Structure 1
Amino acid sequence: MTDNNSIHDYLAALNTAPAFGGQVVFHREFAASTPEFGETVEPWPPAIGQLMETMGIKRLFAHQARTIDRVRAGIHTVAATPTASGKTLTYLLPVIEAAVADESVTALFIYPLKALAQDQNKTIGRMAADLNDVDLKSEIYDGDTSAYRRRKIRDNPPHILLTNPEMIHLSILPHHDIWERLLARLRFVVVDEVHTYRGILGSHMAQVFRRLIRLCGYYGAAPTFVFTSATVANPAELASQLTGLNVGTVQKSTAGTGTRHLLVMDPLDGPLRATVILLKAALHRGLRTIVYTQSRKLAELLTVWARSRSGGFADRISAYRAGFLPQERREIEAKLSSGELLAVITTSALELGIDIGSLDLCILVGYPGSIMATWQRGGRVGRAGQESAVILVAGEDALDHYFVRHPRQLVQRPPEAAVINPHNPDVMSRHLVCAAAELPLKMDDPMLMPEPVRGCVDQLIAAGDLYLSADGRTCYSPLKNPHRHVDLRGSGSRFAILEAPANTRLGEIDGVRVYRETHPGAIYLHRGETYQVAALELETRKVIVTRCQVNYHTRVRSGKETQILEIFDQRPVCGTVMAIGRLQVTEQVTGYDRIQTRTGNVLERISLDLPPMVFETHGLWFTVPQAVVDQAEQERIHVMGGLHAMEHAAIGVFPLLVLADRNDLGGISTPFHPQLQGAGIFVYDGIPGGAGLCVQAFADGQGLLEATLAAITGCPCETGCPSCVHSPKCGSGNRPIDKAGAIFLLRQLIAGNGLSAPARLPEIELPEPPGRGADLTEATLSAADPSSRYGVLDVETQLSAQEVGGWHHAERMRVSCAVLYDSKTDSFYEFVEGQMPMLMDHLKQLELIIGFNIRRFDYRVLSAYTDLDFASLPTLDLLEKVKDRLGYRLSLDHLASATLGAGKTADGLDALKWWKEGKMAKILTYCRSDVAITRDLFQFGRDNHYLLFQNKAKQTVRLPVRW
């Protein structure tokens, strides 16, 4: 720990430094506070009392005692108190107490990061060493655990198993039968840092927890859930949404704190130069410092610049971010904790409670995006009770300048609510398939009761992604292990980043970001080193990079379009209509710019040919009425520039309404959208299926418009800048942008200016929902009417495939006989080889011709007798439909036996043998039987919309069909 006067002297020097004269716009000192203590309702047993005494814990904070009482009583609880308030003890002590009383008790501790589990296991180990009455065992089960150790853990589960979301999803739940000893005795589930389960991870975890609870119930366990969280507005609601359980909360901290300082700086020469100067001064005073940036690229760039300007301290500065290999991260954590490193420059990756020792100074390069994250990051300093400081160095973002103008809002604004979408359909559908693979899903399973879940199950059954049992009561998964296809932390596949020529693994990147950040030619930074992307291999999911030294960085160019798929709600807002619904977003990366790092000038523009990224999500949108557009044009306003500026500014202020940053969102502005029949602006959740952000913001549509206008008018720039209407993510390079146009349009919308605000959007033509009629043709639609005239055809041959040189020579097999059923007369018609012209004439009269493998076999055999274009005939091939659904073929006998309870009377080899024996009557009887079976299968599928078959697990299930 540094000298207590170091921070005081550092801040005094900062406030008087000529280089920063007038740039510190706010300085608030928070006095040290004294702790409040409390007692638990029930006294501790001797073993726990002795343990606490050995640990030097004489008394518990009042909030700790209250949380412990709830956990001991089996009440699902979330402890949402600030960093360093002793949340760990609130669950560790009750768990150890339960293990002392009953050595068979197990507990599951879940951490979002492996490093957090490593830290916690050390703490548990120290506590276990001081226990006398029980041999408390804890084990880490993660991706770094050896196969031998995993088997030992499964065979003899410890009292406490520490793991992460991926291992729950990929290892424990799909193989729950070998984890029965753990699950059947599970008393506690501890979920650490629950506020991190937002966005795509939160949507996934809402399903993982439901699957875990379901399997615990199967083994007779009903564990108590304990959550820890940073300070958010709705911790209990978040925990409840994640699990479906009723969860209570303890929020008020009674822990003492040291003196803390909060400063806001508005740097004249930019935030990066100011940060380097601040960091250099801190290093010379021996202050242990953490610097938070808003992106991986910025963390790497800042590390390079800080090292180059810090002289002898260069080796005591390190970058830290997601994408580093585990051994790299742990090495940095250990060096920071020991004091070997004095400073770390990081992203949100070090926002959580990893033990990195006692830090003194936190520098925030830009507003973190939320009040919660500001205090969570600031809570990394002063943990030992020493004087500490947090300095927000404002960047060019709209929110940064908002807090420069209103710095007291950092203290006065309450923390935001954490938002998830527990019924994200894109995510939920995949986890329902996983749940069915773990344990067949009964249709009355509590997990399926919510209406959105039942609707999703129905869609999965219709699509063949779940199989419904013959009695319609149970769902089965068609895949034995679908879990490996589900990535909890991303909505796309992971790509490995490899350094050529040795293919050394540097890290990985999510498939959603791979085109934007690691396209061919992109400059990629890793641990302060510069690499260029040599190749992006989409099939093998590899990014090949080479080390380089360049004076530029890269920025992609892209275009986007959106389609409205569904409208959830709409309402008049000021002089427009705002709506919320489901959107399809298509983004095409078209190229990239090489930008000189020193000047920011574009050196070269390069085109790219990459596939488009298409996904569905939730978004809100509002129209700009034609009357407002006409007024703008009369005033010589650049309408597209104004719309574009409005879109950027709206996304920039979104975090004032919901817990998000602009990277969680996307936007599109257009002077004419074909579905809106006019100008419109869209803002959408940046993950497939939606995260709940736009849904929450829709509730305050007027607030969004007013905050957007305030952000633009409050910026002192003349024509627009990154503080108001420019976006660092803009695919068109912030062109065109018209700040004055945005102000004009917003004022017209908010004021109405005599315009009659429409109550609803104009009638919008929505696309047909996917899957509804997707496999229907005009011919098969007519067959859905039993009165339509259709025929069922089967052909037998004189020669075998072997005799003619293979199945691809079916036209050489020659017809022995053919049977055609005609629904108009409800009769069977028999034909022999010399009557093929009569058969062709009959086929031409039918509205639909049905067969089993008719296209690949029967028609090819018949092609030897006619010039008729069989492709022109309206045909339904049942085998093709089955293969399209399953991905593999089923025999007619298999389907008939399962669906109709009666199989085929013979097979093709019998028919060939009978031909050689001259037994035509037997062939005709067999062929007629096959036609009758095919007809009955068609009619069963038409009337019931499914056939029955036996899957690979020998279960008789339904195969959805639409004909």
Structure 2
Amino acid sequence: MAHQVAHHRILDGADSRYAEPRRPLSAPLRHALSLMGIERLYSHQAEAADYVRAGRHVVAATPTASGKTLTYNLPVMERCLADPEAKALYLFPLKALAQDQLKAFNELAALLPEERRPTAAIYDGDTSPHFRKKIRNSPPNVILSNPEMVHLSMLPHHASWAEFLSGLTHIVVDEVHTYRGVMGSHMAMVFRRLLRLCEYYGAHPTFVFCSATIGNPVELCHLLTGLEVHPILESGAARGGRHMIFLNPDGSPAQAAIQLLQAALARDLRTIVYCQSRKLTELIALWAAEKSGKYKGRISAYRAGFLPEERREIEMRMADGDLLAVISTSALELGIDIGGLDVCIMVGYPGSVMATHQRGGRVGRSTRDSVVALVAQEDALDQYFMRNPDDFFSRPPESAMLNPYNPVIMDRHLVCASAELTLRRAETFLREPDIETRVEELVERGVLFEVAGDLPGHAAEIVSHRKRPHREVDLRGAGRSLHIEDNTQGGKAPVIGTIDEFRAYRETHPGAVYLHRGETYVVTDLDLGAKAVRSVRQRVGYYTKVRGSKSTDILEVLGQKACFGTRVYFGRLRVTEQITGYEKRSVRGGKLLGITPLDLPPLVFETEGVWFEVGHEIRRRCEDEFLHFMGGIHAFEHAAIGMLPLLVMTDRNDLGGISTPMHPQVDGPAVFIYDGMPGGAGLTRQAFDKAGELVETTLRTITGCECELGCPSCVHSPKCGSGNRPIDKRAAQFVLEAILHGDPKAIEPKDIDVNLPGIDLKRPAPKRYGVLDIETRYSADEVGGWNRADRMGVSIACVYDSEDGAMHDYEQDRMDDLVSHLKDFDLVIGFNHVKFDYAVLGGLHPFNFRSLPNLDLLVEINNRLGYRLKLDNVAQATLDIGKSADGLQALKWWKEGRLDLITEYCRQDVAVTRDVYLFGRENGHVFFTNKAGQKVKLPVDW
């Protein structure tokens, strides 16, 4: 395999560096550490102790296995020894991490005095209901949990957690670098909601963040919490030397990894193999076991989807030395204790310098030398580093980015926050301008409601109409969650997974092949209304890939600057994606088997993005060289997206792109790259700052690739909706070189018209309107149910006419006159008149009443709230006027022949409906009484 080694480098080890805290640790802690063989602290542990004990927030961003656990366990335990009522919350992204940390906590606590020994417990999805209740009612000093449990259990039921929250002194956030992108946007709101409730209960906890080595740990923690954080970046822990090997295999990367694994096993070296997918993890484990002879029982796969007991068994066998090798996805990238390892094999570049070092940090945990082998796939980033290894070693770790104010995500959390505790405009939570502005927008839209009748000098209260909205928020997705069901057996279908609505169009459309735990399923139905994806288990020899088209509108320009010889912009975009069909491709070889059309509604979302203007002069020169200009900017788009993970900690699947030879707002050709999720995740914000480096790296990737026409290592994209057509590698090189050699001094600022043509949603007041209500002769029971409203008959129909300001009454024998009158109106207004009144009238007259210009106030309110209200509720709250009777009373009066009373009652309903309409049209809102008995404001646009 020697000729396949693209690069070999030895990274020197380092000796330990120790330090003493400014103030000595308490005697019981010093004694406990001594019993564990720890006489001195590493320099970063001592620094963390100083800051945390002083109440300062810190982030320890040091390599794997540098002893970060003591940076928080020591100050937390010391606080608990001094104050037995003190509480701490430890948050981990994986359940297995919490198990490890509980073990480490208890080992140290067991050496402390029994009468003051701190206690700890895990509270997660595996905790039984009995123990959950026990933990809530009598919380230990430390609770180890995960973000989902905080969001779904602690925050919505905070009254049950009052003892814990009021005593909370520390919040530990482990592996904080994993909270980026979409999940980072969610966690930014979860932390703000948690801090809000801590303040409510009188607690002001100190945060301790732990992270892998990333480029912006302080910025990341500030984005997540809004807090100022002290960085601890230099590790004092010893480390052994490390051999870094870059291997560019002649054949399959998986086969090369298996050969390396066999060589390691033959030398009795304990090994971890990282794969990019669950499927590859299972396949390599299977292949390795078949070909490894006597080592067959000592190799195991490890990935998400395994049962908790399966994962714990693998971790224990690895730590005990029973297992010699484990093949894993990124699940073992984090600090789960599986003992000392010697060799790390990565099948494919993990996507970031940070993740490569993080995975490599799992080996050589003593001062022994270790080996990290990167086996390249044909992906653009893999091949870039095979050709430019020096760039890898000189490149600083990437920055983790998120958008803390993603409007799509923030809206859902603000509804949760208002359900947890009524919002008040003067509170700390609303002092961040972006949050305050968004709350006001949600009140205007009727998503949140302002409680009416505030006393002067009292802050207005804002409430949610949802009592428990939390379960509809998936912390790892951007949209609504859909359940993926297995309908193979019929009957009650088990749920085999979840997917957010945004990804569902691309990954679980009808006909899509979905993989789950080694089984293939074919999607039979995508039911957005029922929030369900229905599938059947089926063995197929193909996979699916969507085709479609995209367009984009520029909504707001947030920045522009010269980038060599062109302009680059950053701003808000509206992306419209139309999925037109899907390809079936053979599992073996990827041969196209056919294209199936799809009829799906367009996917429209707003996000953030950068775009490069490609001038008309560059286009003309490119075409003069007989190069395919559209193919060139398309290739530029693909290659730039492939290279962006060099600059930002992301995956190319989190990004989208559009290249167009003529964009009307840019007034010329443009290449757009955008965050591929609604609201944006902060990814392209940093791309704008590093636009010049992105252009240079993209050009270097294209020119350095040995292919002639373009390949997956440079300009082909695995998720291109047009099947990588058209693509012209040489045209992309021409365009990028033209940009690179241009004169930035010649680039002047340019205005972009963001005033898109559209429809004015503000409804003009009608010149002449009528308000309609009817009373029937018979009840639903008498005619056979509400579905037979056409048989109910009319006792009286009352119409208010805005032209003469008078009421007009029509009995059943005057339906022609009623129809004639209704036709004269610019707008017919009622309360449930479209569905009910017109159904009754339709049984008496052939006219199509629904063809009239209608405004049904019940429908409008239902669309705002998601549930129906009675007219009496709205009238009482808005006008302080109630109904004089009800429909059942009117039916009795009909039987008694009292048409006069019926007419008086019907006229009052018409007058109330009219006055509610006029109040809403004049003020832009009405009022109603919610289920909590509060009078709240409901915005309307009548």
The TM-score with structure 2 as length reference comes to 0.91
- Separation in 2 of the partners of 1:952 and 1:896? 16
After TM superposition, the structure 1 = structure 2 runs for residues 30-429 of structure 1, keeping only pairs within 5 Å, are 30-132=11-113, 133-429=115-411
CA contact (8 A) 1:576 1:758 kept: no
- Separation in 2 of the partners of 1:507 and 1:334? 28
1:650 paired residue number: 640
How far the C-alpha of 1:135 sits from its partner, in A, is 3.2
- Separation in 2 of the partners of 1:672 and 1:327? 57
1:479 counterpart SS class? coil
CA deviations over 1:188-225 (Å, ceiling 9, x no partner)? 11000101101111111111111110111111111111
- Separation in 2 of the partners of 1:514 and 1:436? 29
- Separation in 1 of the partners of 2:824 and 2:511? 61
CA contact (8 A) 2:97 2:335 kept: yes
Q: 1:87 to 1:174 in 2, by over 3 A?
A: same
Q: 1:104 to 1:643 in 2, by over 3 A?
A: same
1:531 equivalenced with 2:519 (yes/no): yes
CA contact (8 A) 2:61 2:212 kept: yes
1:688 paired residue number: 678
1:708 equivalenced with 2:702 (yes/no): no
- Separation in 2 of the partners of 1:727 and 1:516? 15
- Separation in 2 of the partners of 1:346 and 1:897? 63
Amino acid at match of 1:294: Q
- Separation in 2 of the partners of 1:524 and 1:918? 66
CA contact (8 A) 2:48 2:58 kept: yes
1:483 equivalenced with 2:470 (yes/no): yes
Amino acid at match of 2:928: F
- Separation in 2 of the partners of 1:831 and 1:756? 76
Q: 1:911 to 1:180 in 2, by over 3 A?
A: same
Amino acid at match of 1:631: R
1:290 counterpart SS class? strand
Q: 1:696 to 1:763 in 2, by over 3 A?
A: same
CA contact (8 A) 1:565 1:767 kept: no
1:932 equivalenced with 2:911 (yes/no): yes
How far the C-alpha of 1:555 sits from its partner, in A, is 5.0
- Separation in 2 of the partners of 1:661 and 1:866? 63
CA deviations over 1:851-871 (Å, ceiling 9, x no partner)? 222223444555577554433
How far the C-alpha of 1:677 sits from its partner, in A, is 6.1
Aligned pairs, number: 927
- Separation in 2 of the partners of 1:40 and 1:579? 49
CA contact (8 A) 1:290 1:359 kept: yes
- Separation in 2 of the partners of 1:768 and 1:451? 29
Percent identity of the aligned residues?
51
- Separation in 1 of the partners of 2:67 and 2:884? 75
1:559 equivalenced with 2:548 (yes/no): yes
- Separation in 2 of the partners of 1:767 and 1:307? 62
1:766 equivalenced with 2:756 (yes/no): yes
After TM superposition, the structure 1 = structure 2 runs for residues 662-741 of structure 1, keeping only pairs within 5 Å, are 662-673=652-663, 678-741=668-731
2:928 to 949, 952, 958: 949
How far the C-alpha of 1:522 sits from its partner, in A, is 6.9
1:781 equivalenced with 2:760 (yes/no): no
CA contact (8 A) 1:675 1:765 kept: no
CA contact (8 A) 2:790 2:841 kept: yes
Amino acid at match of 2:414: L
Gaps of 5+ in 2: 455-459
2:583 to 575, 592, 609: 592
- Separation in 2 of the partners of 1:412 and 1:189? 35
CA deviations over 1:891-943 (Å, ceiling 9, x no partner)? 22221111111211223344444455555544443333222211211111112
Greater alpha carbon shift after TM alignment, 895-904 vs 441-450: 441-450
CA contact (8 A) 2:11 2:243 kept: yes
- Separation in 2 of the partners of 1:342 and 1:82? 24
1:461 equivalenced with 2:440 (yes/no): no
2:628 paired residue number: 638
Q: 1:521 to 1:875 in 2, by over 3 A?
A: closer
CA contact (8 A) 2:63 2:212 kept: yes
After TM superposition, the structure 1 = structure 2 runs for residues 822-837 of structure 1, keeping only pairs within 5 Å, are 822-830=801-809
The TM-score with structure 1 as length reference comes to 0.90
- Separation in 2 of the partners of 1:847 and 1:506? 50
2:885 paired residue number: 906
How far the C-alpha of 1:357 sits from its partner, in A, is 0.9
Greater alpha carbon shift after TM alignment, 613-622 vs 947-956: 613-622
Amino acid at match of 1:592: E
- Separation in 2 of the partners of 1:77 and 1:713? 44
Amino acid at match of 2:557: F
CA contact (8 A) 1:566 1:583 kept: yes
Greater alpha carbon shift after TM alignment, 261-270 vs 385-394: 261-270
1:27 paired residue number: 8
CA deviations over 1:620-663 (Å, ceiling 9, x no partner)? 22343344333333322123322221111101111222222323
- Separation in 1 of the partners of 2:791 and 2:505? 52
How far the C-alpha of 1:263 sits from its partner, in A, is 2.5
CA contact (8 A) 2:564 2:743 kept: no
Greater alpha carbon shift after TM alignment, 105-114 vs 370-379: 370-379
- Separation in 2 of the partners of 1:398 and 1:668? 19
- Separation in 2 of the partners of 1:524 and 1:937? 51
1:904 counterpart SS class? coil
CA contact (8 A) 1:533 1:543 kept: no
1:873 to 846, 852, 855: 852
1:432 paired residue number: 414
After TM superposition, the structure 1 = structure 2 runs for residues 796-811 of structure 1, keeping only pairs within 5 Å, are 796-803=775-782, 806-810=785-789
Amino acid at match of 1:65: A
Q: 1:219 to 1:596 in 2, by over 3 A?
A: closer
Q: 1:137 to 1:653 in 2, by over 3 A?
A: same
CA contact (8 A) 1:300 1:526 kept: no
- Separation in 2 of the partners of 1:556 and 1:866? 53
1:474 paired residue number: 461
Amino acid at match of 1:594: R
CA deviations over 1:684-720 (Å, ceiling 9, x no partner)? 2223321101121112333322221121112222222
1:408 counterpart SS class? helix
Q: 1:74 to 1:730 in 2, by over 3 A?
A: same
CA deviations over 1:106-164 (Å, ceiling 9, x no partner)? 11000000000000111112122211141321110110111111111111101110000
Amino acid at match of 1:659: M
Q: 1:34 to 1:810 in 2, by over 3 A?
A: closer
Amino acid at match of 2:639: A
Amino acid at match of 1:715: C
- Separation in 1 of the partners of 2:630 and 2:285? 39
Greater alpha carbon shift after TM alignment, 112-121 vs 575-584: 575-584
- Separation in 2 of the partners of 1:834 and 1:27? 97
CA contact (8 A) 2:512 2:523 kept: no
1:782 counterpart SS class? coil
1:625 equivalenced with 2:615 (yes/no): yes
Amino acid at match of 2:362: R
